[in-house]
Amino acid sequence: MPELPEVEVVRRGLESWVAGRTVAAAEVLHPRAVRRNAGDLPAQLKGRTPASAERRGKYLWLPLRDGGPAEGPGEEEPGEALVAHLGMSGQLLVVDPLSPIEKHLRVRMGFTDGGPELRFVDQRTFGHLLVAPMTSGPARPVPEPIAHIAPDPLEAAFDDERFAERLRLRRTGIKRALLDQSLISGVGNIYADEALWRARLHWARPTETLTRPKIAELLAEVRAVMTEALEQGGTSFDSLYVNVNGESGYFDRSLAVYGRRDEPCRRCGTPIRREAFMNRSSYSCPKCQPRPRNARP
DNA sequence: CGAAAGACCTGTGCGC
DNA sequence: TGCGCACAGGTCTTTC
Do A175 and A96 lie in a common domain? Answer: no
Question: What's the CATH code of the domain at A208?
Answer: 1.10.8.50
Do A191 and A71 lie in a common domain? Answer: no
Question: What's the CATH code of the domain at A114?
Answer: 3.20.190.10
Rounded Cα distance, A214 and A212, in Å: 5
A289 lies in some domain: no
A270 lies in some domain: yes
Name the burial class of residue A76, with classes exposed (0-12), middle (13-18) and buried (19+) by CB atoms within 10 angstroms of its CB. exposed
Question: Which residue type occupies A125?
Answer: T
Do A117 and A140 lie in a common domain? Answer: yes
A79 lies in some domain: yes
Q: How many domains does chain A have?
A: 2
Do A88 and A179 lie in a common domain? Answer: no
Rounded Cα distance, A40 and A139, in Å: 29
Count CB-CB contacts under 10 A for residue A68: 14
Q: Provide the residue range defining the domain that includes A232.
A: 160-284
Do A118 and A218 lie in a common domain? Answer: no
The one catalytic residue among A58, A198, A260, A273: A58
Is residue A237 pLDDT above 70, yes or no? no
A131 lies in some domain: yes
Do A190 and A230 lie in a common domain? Answer: yes
A221 lies in some domain: yes
Do A140 and A170 lie in a common domain? Answer: no
Mean per-residue pLDDT, A273-280: 87
Rounded Cα distance, A62 and A18, in Å: 9
The one catalytic residue among A103, A253, A280, A293: A280
Going A159 to A83 to A11 to A91, the CA torsion angle's sign is positive
A 122-161, residues with C-beta < 7 Å of strand B:
123-126
Q: Are A273 and A261 within 8 A, CB to CB?
A: yes
Structure confidence at residue A75 (pLDDT): 52
Do A277 and A170 lie in a common domain? Answer: yes
Summarised one tens digit per residue, pLDDT across range A46-98 is: 999 999 999 999 999 999 999 766 655 555 567 999 999 999 899 999 999 99
Which nucleotide is closest to A179, CA to C1'? C10
Is residue A239 pLDDT above 70, yes or no? no
Lowest mean pLDDT among A131-140, A151-160, A169-178, A233-242: A233-242
Cα A150 to Cα A4, A62, A113, A159, distances in angstroms? 13, 19, 37, 10
Structure confidence at residue A78 (pLDDT): 77
A153 lies in some domain: no
Nucleotides of C under 7 A from a protein CB: 7-12
Structure confidence at residue A73 (pLDDT): 58
As a rounded value in angstroms, the CA-to-C1' distance for A284 and C6 is 21
Count CB-CB contacts under 10 A for residue A291: 14
Residue A250: which residues within 8 A CB-CB, separation 6 or more?
A232, A233, A236
A293 lies in some domain: no
Structure confidence at residue A254 (pLDDT): 86
